């Protein structure tokens, strides 16, 4: 199950929050990819991805994720509550070549990381709200 919406961090940074629980399907991964791609509703916003304990991400979903726009994924803060899954997620992030994605054990840590890296909402030259460090 997936929910994707705009969210404001405690310091006012506008992000796209992607909540994952139970089963994250390939169709849902495709929806996220379209939302963060150029022209998508959430393009240019930093990402907060929150996986609930026990979330299943099958091979089909991982394949869709591997084809997402790398630039849109950079700067993401990902909450992975299981230490074992964080090790696996670290491997995936490295294989995908994502240099500024951070992994966290809880949402509070992830929000602190986003607030430390990005500034509150600013308009880019294309009219999209974004923090200057986002891309």
Which residue ranges make up each domain of the chain? 2-134
8 Å CB contact between 15 and 113:
no
pLDDT band at 62 (very low <50, low <70, confident <90, very high): confident
pTM: 0.84
pLDDT, residue 127, reads 55
CATH architecture for segment(s) 2-134: 2-Layer Sandwich (3.30)
Between 31 and 91, the higher pLDDT residue: 31
pLDDT, residue 130, reads 55
**What is the average pLDDT score of the chain?**
87
């Amino acid at each position: 199950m997936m929910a994707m919406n705009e969210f404001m961090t405690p310091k006012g940074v506008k992000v796209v929050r992607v909540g994952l629980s139970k089963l994250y399907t390939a169709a849902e991964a495709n929806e996220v990819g379209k939302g963060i791609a150029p022209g998508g509703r959430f393009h240019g916003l930093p990402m907060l991805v929150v996986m609930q304990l026990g979330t299943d991400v099958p091979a089909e979903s991982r394949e869709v994720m591997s084809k997402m726009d790398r630039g849109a994924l950079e700067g993401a803060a990902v909450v992975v509550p299981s230490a074992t899954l964080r090790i696996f997620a670290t491997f995936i992030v490295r294989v995908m070549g994502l240099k500024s994605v951070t992994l966290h054990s809880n949402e509070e840590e992830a929000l602190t990381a986003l607030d430390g890296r990005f500034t509150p909402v600013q308009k880019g030259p294309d009219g999209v709200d974004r923090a200057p460090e986002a891309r």
